Amino acid sequence: MNAQGKLGIALVGLGEYSEKQLAPALQETNHCYLAAIVTGTPGKVDKWKGKYKIPDKNIYNYKSFDAIKENPDIDIVYIVLPNALHAEYVIRAARAGKHVICEKPMAITVEECDQMITACEEAGVMLSLGYRLHFEPYNLEMMRLGKEKPFGNWLSITAENGIQGTSGWRLDKSLAGGGPLMDLGIYCVQGCRYTTGMEPIAVTAKEAAKTDPEKFRSVEEGLSWVMEFPDNIKAACTTSYSKEMNKLRAEAENGWAELGPAYEYSGIKGQSSQGKMEFPEINQQAKQMDDFAQAIKDKRPSPVPGEMGRQDVIILQAIYKAMATGQRIEIG
């Protein structure tokens, strides 16, 4: 904690998300600040050091990472690495006695999620996920509508999240764990879970035909799936690396509500059968990180804990199983 009472965050992995979203957001936070960086690319250090005034003693690489244990400037470690590396670094951060935020998806297997949760429990540190939309007013409104039911019970949901084009580790199954489902479809799974406040009980899925089998040789290019929720609510979802889509829509007995775009960092818009939704624009990442810092200070649970990330990985794995087998897969 610094003199102003802010908790120190170490960003691990200085890629796009750290550079363009998290570090700028940490200039707007009230309860935490950017204290340290961990990078495997020495060429990035000078720029970060200069821009954010990070002292040399708070700069680490992946080999020296465990020495953060001795550094009282670091209270929270934020893992922003390719998906397959999340488990190792969350566990190492926990063993160094630091609270952890892990980016989505939590890991590429449920077993890894279990190990991460256990490591944090054993170390007595808190674990949360980078689920920024739980702090975003339009998505919070979908949660409220699901809870308070002003339109009656939900009947069905449509969730779509896709982008045109991707590259690098996201096309490599060994680092990403899968294709757009792991990266973008997870927002649809989340959207359906928090809009209904329920857990899916079964899933069916179908892979989209590949337009570029060479580029997408190790991961799917696109995928559609249907999640069955209690009360006969069905959620039809689609994700893709070759089509722009960004929507969350729920139909109820006496009305409907829709966000589009639903999952962006800013510019989210919403409407319902009662009219246009109007909420202030906020910095999602700043809110998310501040909430975790406050949760640590107040010794209260995070609204986006490791268990929530684990449940998403269970669902993602069931969707892949349904896709591979063509069968309806029940989710225990």
* Residues annotated catalytic, as ranges: 104, 187
User: Cβ of 2: how many Cβ atoms within 10 Å?
Assistant: 12
**Is 15 near ligand NDP (CB under 6 A)?**
yes
Residue 168 C-beta: closest distance to ligand NDP, Å: 5
**Is 17 near ligand NDP (CB under 6 A)?**
yes
**Is 82 near ligand NDP (CB under 6 A)?**
yes
**Is 83 near ligand NDP (CB under 6 A)?**
yes
Cβ proximity to ligand NDP, 44 vs 210, nearer residue: 44
**Is 96 near ligand NDP (CB under 6 A)?**
no
List binders of ligand NDP among 184-213 (CB under 6 A): none
32: CB partners within 8 A, 6+ apart = 6, 7, 8, 9, 26, 75, 76, 289, 290, 292, 293
As given in the structure block, the two tokens for residue 123 are: 């170390």
Residue closest to ligand NDP (Cβ): 15
- Shortest CA distance to 184 belongs to which of 156, 213, 164? 164
- Shortest CA distance to 262 belongs to which of 189, 328, 201, 209? 189
**Is 44 near ligand NDP (CB under 6 A)?**
yes
**Is 81 near ligand NDP (CB under 6 A)?**
yes
As given in the structure block, the two tokens for residue 293 are: 């810092």
Residue 77 C-beta: closest distance to ligand NDP, Å: 14
Q: Mapped to the 3 state alphabet, what secondary structure does 101-131 carry?
A: EECCCCCCCHHHHHHHHHHHHHHCCCEEECC
Residues 295 and 140: their CA atoms lie apart, in Å, by 18
**Is 103 near ligand NDP (CB under 6 A)?**
yes
State the distance between the two ends of the chain, measured CA to CA, in whole angstroms: 41
Cβ proximity to ligand NDP, 105 vs 229, nearer residue: 105
Cβ proximity to ligand NDP, 83 vs 242, nearer residue: 83
**Is 51 near ligand NDP (CB under 6 A)?**
no
Residue 145 C-beta: closest distance to ligand NDP, Å: 23
Output phi, psi for 304, to 5 deg. Answer: -125, 65
Residues 78 and 288: their CA atoms lie apart, in Å, by 12
Residues 91 and 318: their CA atoms lie apart, in Å, by 25
**Is 130 near ligand NDP (CB under 6 A)?**
yes
Query: Which of 5, 40, 230, 301 touches ligand NDP (CB under 6 A)?
Result: 40
Query: Which of 8, 13, 178, 309 touches ligand NDP (CB under 6 A)?
Result: 13
Kindly give the residue spans of alpha helices, DSSP state H, lying in 149-242: 173-176, 180, 186-196
Cβ proximity to ligand NDP, 107 vs 293, nearer residue: 107
Query: Which of 45, 137, 169, 282 touches ligand NDP (CB under 6 A)?
Result: 169
Residue 85 C-beta: closest distance to ligand NDP, Å: 6
Residue 259 C-beta: closest distance to ligand NDP, Å: 15
As given in the structure block, the two tokens for residue 81 are: 């690495």
Residues 116 and 174: their CA atoms lie apart, in Å, by 19
312: CB partners within 8 A, 6+ apart = 104, 105, 106, 186, 189, 190, 193
Interacting residues toward ligand NDP by CB under 6 A: 13-18, 39-41, 44, 80-83, 85, 103-104, 130, 132, 168-169, 183
